[in-house]
Amino acid sequence: MVITKNIFYIALILGFLAVSITACANDNILEELKISFIKDITSEMEKHKVKVISDEKEGKKEFLKKSLPGVYIPKNEEIKKNDIFITEEGDKGFYHLGVISLSYPTSKDAAISFNTMIDKNKFKYFQNTKILTKFKFFIKDKYIVFVYSETFIEEKVNKFILKQH
């Protein structure tokens, strides 16, 4: 009885650690892209402001289904989303990068979904949105990562999106 109880607690702890590690990996993807984007965009700016909006609200799944018809989203998915806005002091415009990281149970599941999306989504813009929004997606381990921008017409932003893989 004691051994069974201990095995149960060990399994519970290992399960918690696996979930924590997965969440950390997903957060790392978002953080790496954020740091890289800020560095690329602000390299020639003297003074700038950065605003990051992390979207933890519901609705990300519905956005993906509406904007990317045919995308497979697993039931127990983890979806993380960041929007990064950079403004240069004295300039009224801004640079924008959005990142969505979609978690799959395994790398194989992510690869299958990724290949299906490549076949179904020949377009390079989100569908059914108010603003024409260019995006690119790539696979990283068991995640499919979408990078997009409402300011893709800005050369720096477009170059950043195109070099992601």
Phi, psi for 143 (deg, rounded to 5) = -120, 145
Alpha helices in 86-154 (DSSP H): 107-120
What pLDDT, on the 0 to 100 scale, is given for residue 57? 59
C-alpha span between 139 and 82 (Å, rounded): 17
What pLDDT, on the 0 to 100 scale, is given for residue 93? 84
Instruction: Let me know: does 94 contact 86? Beta carbons within 8 Å.
Output: yes
Alpha helices in 55-106 (DSSP H): 60-67
What pLDDT, on the 0 to 100 scale, is given for residue 13? 42
Q: Which pair of structure tokens corresponds to residue 47?
A: 């003074």
Domain boundaries, the chain: 2-162
What pLDDT, on the 0 to 100 scale, is given for residue 123? 60
Cβ-in-10-Å burial (0-12, 13-18, 19+) of 118 comes to exposed
What pLDDT, on the 0 to 100 scale, is given for residue 81? 87
Instruction: Let me know: does 38 contact 50? Beta carbons within 8 Å.
Output: yes
What pLDDT, on the 0 to 100 scale, is given for residue 134? 83
Q: Tens-digit pLDDT profile for the chain (165 aa)? A: 545 544 543 443 434 334 333 445 667 888 999 999 999 999 988 899 999 988 765 677 888 888 877 777 777 678 888 899 999 988 878 999 999 888 888 888 888 888 877 766 656 788 888 888 888 888 898 998 989 998 888 999 989 988 887
What pLDDT, on the 0 to 100 scale, is given for residue 85? 95
What pLDDT, on the 0 to 100 scale, is given for residue 87? 93
